[in-house]
Amino acid sequence: MSGTVKICGLSTAPTLDAALDAGADMVGFVFFEKSPRHLQLDQAKTLTARVDGRARIAVLTVDASNEALRAIIDAAQPDFLQLHGRETPARVADLKRLFSLPVIKAIGISGAGDLAAAASYADVADRLLFDAKAPKDARHPGGNGVVFDWRLLAGLDPRQPWLLSGGLEPGNVAEAIAVTGARGVDVSSGVESAPGQKDIARIKAFIAEARAAFARADAGQQAAHAEARPGRVA
């Protein structure tokens, strides 16, 4: 079973095209003014039109109002709302009803206690995204390049599909997948040369490394199933 690779915070046509050409399953666009990856609505409309069905589109917002979300959705025509603020489970449920779009809810993780928050979203969010909890002095809740202890997620079964984020980059994504068993990964700052500036070579390398790691995980599962099959002849 193949995994999901998401490249988030895209803001230029060349880097978006690189992500699509390399086989990204999902591309993300940020609408949060404090972020160096923030897009204006006209930029978003131009960029998302280039996707043309080659990947699913997620729009990332932080405690946005209904009016702001409506404008973003009209411009970007997304497949997912990605919520990175303090949205409650009730707010997530309301947004799903209002906009008829599936929701990815980000959960900040720094210790085992933070995983308890995931349970309250499991019945309302369509996917969870486990990200490193932002440092206290951070200006934005994600894209800070911070890694949390991946061992916290080993064997996790949150009842919903989930993505791993937080400090991922081409050099560590394979280890992250192996440690956590993640079937989806999300990267932003880890494929940048500077904050908000995506690097085409790093995008391609990240996707290639993630794909290879997912393939190894699939092969390991198939081998384990074959080993456990009754009647197997040595």
CB atoms within 10 A of CB 143: 27
Question: 3-state DSSP call for residue 200?
Answer: helix
Query: Which is nearest to 173 in space by CA: 141, 149, 207, 143?
Result: 207
pLDDT tens profile 64-108: 999 999 999 999 999 999 999 999 999 999 999 999 999 999 999
Q: Give residue-wise pLDDT tens across range 207-234.
A: 999 999 999 998 876 666 566 666 554 4
Counting every residue written for the chain, the total comes to: 234
Q: Which amino acid makes up residue 113?
A: G
Is residue 199 among the annotated active site residues? no
Residue 126 lies in a domain: yes
Report the distance separating Cα 41 and Cα 198, nearest Å.
19
* CATH value at residue 62: 3.20.20.70
Catalytic site includes residue 131:
yes
User: What integer pLDDT is reported at residue 218 of this predicted model?
Assistant: 87
Question: Exposure of 110 by Cβ count < 10 A (0-12 exposed, 13-18 middle, 19+ buried)?
Answer: middle
Catalytically annotated residue among 8, 79, 186, 218? 8
Give 126-152 pLDDT, tens digit per residue.
999 999 987 666 555 655 678 999 999
Provide the domain limits for residue 20: 4-228
Regarding pTM above 0.85, the answer is yes
Number of domains in the chain: 1
Domain assignment present for residue 188? The answer is yes
The answer as to whether 233 is a domain residue is no
Residue of 25, 123, 131, 218 with catalytic role = 131
**Integer Cα distance of 62 and 215 in angstroms:** 34
Does residue 151 lie in a domain region?
A: yes
How far is residue 203's CA from residue 34's CA, in Å, rounded to a whole number?
23
Q: What average pLDDT does range 37-41 have in this prediction?
A: 98
Give the contacts of 53 (CB within 8 A, at least 6 positions apart): none
Asked if residue 148 belongs to a domain, the reply is yes
Is residue 35 a part of any domain in this protein? yes
* Cα–Cα distance for residue pair 14/69, rounded to 1 Å: 26
Average pLDDT, the chain: 91
In a domain, 17, yes or no: yes
Query: Would the pLDDT of 50 be above 70?
Result: yes
> Bridge-partner residues for 80, per DSSP?
58
3-state helix, strand, coil in the chain (%, to 5): 40, 20, 40
Q: Compute the average pLDDT of residues 14-39.
A: 97
The answer for residues whose C-beta is within 8 angstroms of residue 179's C-beta and 6 or more apart is: 150, 151, 153, 154
- Does any domain span residue 209? yes
